[in-house]
Structure 1
Amino acid sequence: MPPIHIDEIPIEIKEFFNKIISISFPRQGYTSNLAIIESDQGFFALKRTKGKLFNSMLKKEVSILNTLNNKTELPVPKVKKFIEKYNNSESWALLNFIEGETIRMALFNEYRSEKRQEIIFSFGEILSEIHSTPCPDELVMKQPWLDQMLFEAEYNSNNYSVDGTKELLERIKVKKPKEYKQTLIHGDFTIDNVMISNGVITGVIDWGSGAYGDPRYDVSLAIRPKPNAFENEIDKQIFFEGYGGRIIDEDEYEYFANGLYEFF
């Protein structure tokens, strides 16, 4: 989707500000447009989605963020405005801006081994905080989380372009990992969704998949190898030190990171 133009912003959001000073556009996601607004009241993040599927995803994220802000102390964005426009053809969410840069960028820009380890340790630490936070009742699904995820995986496989194959889907449906105590999870806990500034975690963003689910899923996505991150065992060791222990084995990692995640 093309970047947001100031003339497209709904009047309900424009009226929130006395003055918009500037608008910038960070790296765009697949499901939404993102703009950073500098205003007389400070900085804010503005997300826009189009189409039924992506609009429903944004609406779900807004609901989750409101619940987490009301029921937990986690560092998540606060929703300032949520607007559904034009017979639900597009949706807009205005969020408070989280200072800092993503863990991905922080690791990319940091060459000192000790500082890199501190960043990775903090990355594990904030995930432990999420998993130890009591899950609000509003995020508990009627059916077990993995069953729901496998249902959605099959739906995605039949209706969208996904990386997973039909053979892989059948394999993960049959060979489930042993049961594990469910917790509050982020659902897309990657180095792109945690913000850090001066070595301190400032926030966790993109909560559209937040749920009461299997914490091993979050851990698996967190340690997936990326350029300049988690390409060696040392990074994983430091992460688990921050997290407080290793809760997955290799088979469980493969199931979640290279199995279930291939359909999302």
Structure 2
Amino acid sequence: MAGQLPVSRVLFYGEEASNEYLLATEVDGVNAAVPSHLSNLPSVLGSLGAGLKRIHRVPIDNCPFDQRLDRKLAEARRRVDQNLVDEDHFDAERIGKTAVELFGLLLSQKPHQEELVFAHGDFCLPNVLIANDEVSGFIDWGRAGIADKYQDLALAIRSITSKFGKEFVPFFLTGYGLAEVDEERVFYYQLLDEFF
């Protein structure tokens, strides 16, 4: 991502016994979830959408990180089988459901196609930094890789709705350049996120 996106620069990586160490530069700005953005929220959210589009334009030809749906479903199944899914932290509309129930829903509603892009993987407000009402950087790349663009769109929509209200989502979508949203895929990728 270096040279293509505003991200931290790695200064040092090392391993010792069972520990790994990473030292990186700071990314300027404050996260997009802070209330100080309320005074210019439409502009900030438009910038957020444009920033996501910029991520999605990174070429995937030589990307070594596979986050496609079949791989994510296999990992979700493993997490269900090993009781690693935190059912107490499901989104409000899924509280009271079990991971097994939701996994069955994931399988039965799996989209037939993916629009593959380089995806951030956890594109929510705290992972985007803003300076002067513009995106100044992106952090938390642990789930990045080749994935459907709705992996990012769905989590951004959920994050914006939760923090600022659903009425602000169109500013983000306009910044991204998306006139029409596939609500089924938004629902699906928000559901998938319950497992991670």
TM-score normalised per structure 1: 0.65
Amino acid at match of 2:11: K
1:253-264 aligned within 5 A: 253-257=186-190, 259-264=191-196
**For structure 1, which runs of at least 5 residues remain unmatched after alignment?**
1-67
Structure 2 vs 1, CA of residues 247 and 92 (structure 1 numbering), >3 Å: closer, same or farther?
farther
* Alignment of 1:110 onto 2:37: yes
Aligned counterparts of 1:247 and 1:80: Cα–Cα separation in 2 = 41
* 1:138 aligned residue: 63
Among candidates 96, 113, 131, match of residue 25 of structure 2: 96
Task: Report the 3-state secondary structure (helix = DSSP H, G, I; strand = E; otherwise coil) of the residue aligned with 1:138.
Answer: coil
Structure 1 residue 171: deviation in Å?
1.4
- 1:181 maps to which residue? 115
Deviations 1:26-66 (A, max 9, x none): xxxxxxxxxxxxxxxxxxxxxxxxxxxxxxxxxxxxxxxxx
Residue of structure 2 aligned with 1:165, choices 83, 88, 99: 99
- Residue in structure 2 matched with residue 151 of structure 1 by the alignment: 74
CA RMSD of aligned residues (A): 1.9
- For the residue of structure 1 that corresponds to 2:118, the secondary structure is strand
Shift of 1:200: 2.1
CA contact (8 A) 1:156 1:162 kept: no
Runs of 4+ with >4 A deviation: 225-228
C-alpha deviation, 1:81, in angstroms = 0.6
Would the alpha carbon gap of residues 246 and 146 (structure 1) be closer, same or farther in structure 2, given more than 3 Å must change? Answer: farther
Higher relative contact order (CA 8 A, sep 6+): 2
**Do the aligned partners of 1:224 and 1:230 also contact (CA within 8 Å) in 2?**
no
Match of 2:148 in 1: 214
Alpha-carbon distance in 2 for matches of 1:254, 1:227: 13
The 8 Å contact of residues 125 and 159 in structure 2, kept in 1 or not, is answered as: no
Q: Secondary structure at the residue paired with 1:104? A: coil
Partner Cα distance (1:222, 1:202) in 2: 17
Is the CA contact (8 Å cut-off) linking 1:193 and 1:204 kept in structure 2? yes
Q: Does 1:243 align with 2:176?
A: yes
Partner of 2:90: none
What are the ranges of 5 or more consecutive residues in structure 2 without an aligned counterpart? 88-97
Determine if contact 1:145/1:212 at 8 Å carries over to the other structure: yes
Mapped to 1, the partners of 2:32 and 2:172 lie a distance apart of: 12
Shift of 1:225: 4.5
Q: How far apart are the structure 1 equivalents of 2:180 and 2:161?
A: 24
Mark the CA change 1:162 to 1:229 in structure 2 (over 3 Å): closer, same or farther: same
CA distance in 2, matches of 1:84, 1:140: 21
For 1:161 and 1:254, the matched residues in 2 are separated by 18
Identity of aligned residues (%): 29
Q: Say if 2:76 is the partner of 1:76.
A: no
Structure 2 counterpart of 1:123, from 48, 70, 85: 48
